[in-house]
């Protein structure tokens, strides 16, 4: 009896949860045609293929090391990983444990697949990142947000003339704006961020995302432009590309790196001003 396991993954940015079921269905059909017995299923939902720090993949490798199955079946090699080095590592480790990789797109995976497909997937990720960056830059230069929402603003949700959602538009939240001006005024009067946070929590005023106020949310990091007191959007200046994120190859986590100042994109958005020049 040939024991098979199935791996399926979808990315929240591109697919829906139904994609998992679709992948499992077609992988089961392949196993049935080959006469393989499916004994285990591994899935990662809303997980990027650029990182190996995924529960499903980690569990898959643990079970493979214990000799629980002979074949891993997936829709395509990029379901397991899009990172070239990770694909090679997966192939080496599974081969060591006597486990073959079979995908519906490529068939049984060999060293040739690992080299060619790994390179193609890596180039895909690089090209996707470049296109995304270009799109965000254009949005920022048009005066719209290129990232997450800041405290003091609400996201505008509407459809454009083409019927598609308009992204990056914000409007001032007047209640939060009044609180921002209060925080600036109290800081200018000599109160520390810790003291301000303590007062706000004592008054049971919810902080960003409805959580308790912390001094770090107010103070932030001056060089990186984080924290309420360093947010230039409050004076009508939209600053983007101040920092970039790269993946730590050891942990798979993203870490920030400050960009040179000449790489920053700065756009005046006077309609977004909350704090006047004097304050």
Query: Under DSSP, is residue 102 helix (H, G, I), strand (E, B) or coil?
Result: strand
Q: What is the pLDDT of residue 169?
A: 82
The full length of the chain comes to 279
Q: In the 8-state DSSP scheme, what is residue 277?
A: S
Sort strands 153-155 and 265-268 into parallel, antiparallel or unpaired: unpaired
SS3 (DSSP) at 83:
coil
Residue 65 has pLDDT above 80, yes or no: yes
> What does pLDDT average to over the chain?
84
Confidence (pLDDT) at 133? 65
d(CA 40, CA 73): 10
Q: What pLDDT score does 20 carry? A: 86
Higher-confidence residue of 187 and 227: namely 187
Strand, helix or coil at 113? helix
pLDDT tens digits, one per residue of 106-132: 899 888 777 766 666 666 667 766 776
Q: Which of 22-26, 137-141, 253-257 has the lowest mean pLDDT?
A: 137-141
Go through the domains of the chain in sequence order and give each one's CATH number: 3-124 (3.40.50.1390), 174-272 (no CATH)
3-state DSSP call for residue 270? Answer: helix
Q: Which token pair is 213?
A: 């106020």
Over 70: is that where the pLDDT of 249 sits?
Answer: no
For 118, list phi and psi in degrees, rounded to 5.
-60, -45
Is the distance from CB of 121 to CB of 78 less than 8 angstroms? yes
Task: Report the pLDDT averaged over residues 59-72.
Answer: 94
- DSSP at 232: G
């Amino acid at each position: 009896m040939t024991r098979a396991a199935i791996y399926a993954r979808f990315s929240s940015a591109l697919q829906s949860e139904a994609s998992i079921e679709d992948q499992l269905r077609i992988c089961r059909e392949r196993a049935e045609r080959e006469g393989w017995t499916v004994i285990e299923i591994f899935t990662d939902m809303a997980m990027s293929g650029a990182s190996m720090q995924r529960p499903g993949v980690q569990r898959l490798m643990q079970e493979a090391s214990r000799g629980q199955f002979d074949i891993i079946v997936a829709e395509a090699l990029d379901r397991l990983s899009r990172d070239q080095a990770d694909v090679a590592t997966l192939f080496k480790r599974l081969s060591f444990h006597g486990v073959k990789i079979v995908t519906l797109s490529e068939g049984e995976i060999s060293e040739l697949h690992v080299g060619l497909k790994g390179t193609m997937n890596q180039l895909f990720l690089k090209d996707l990142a470049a296109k995304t960056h270009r799109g965000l830059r254009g949005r920022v230069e048009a005066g719209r947000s290129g990232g997450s929402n800041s405290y003091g603003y609400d996201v505008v949700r509407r459809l454009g003339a083409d019927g598609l959602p308009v992204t990056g538009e914000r409007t001032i939240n007047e209640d939060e704006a009044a609180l921002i001006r209060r925080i600036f005024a109290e800081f200018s009067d000599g109160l520390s961020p810790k003291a301000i946070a303590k007062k706000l929590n004592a008054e049971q005023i919810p902080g960003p995302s409805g959580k308790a106020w912390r001094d770090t949310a107010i103070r932030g990091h001056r060089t990186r432009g984080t924290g309420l007191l360093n947010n230039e959007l409050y004076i009508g200046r939209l600053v983007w590309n101040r920092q970039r994120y790269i993946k730590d190859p050891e942990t798979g986590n993203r870490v920030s790196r400050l960009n040179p100042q000449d790489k920053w994109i700065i756009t005046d958005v006077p309609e977004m001003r909350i704090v006047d020049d004097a304050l």
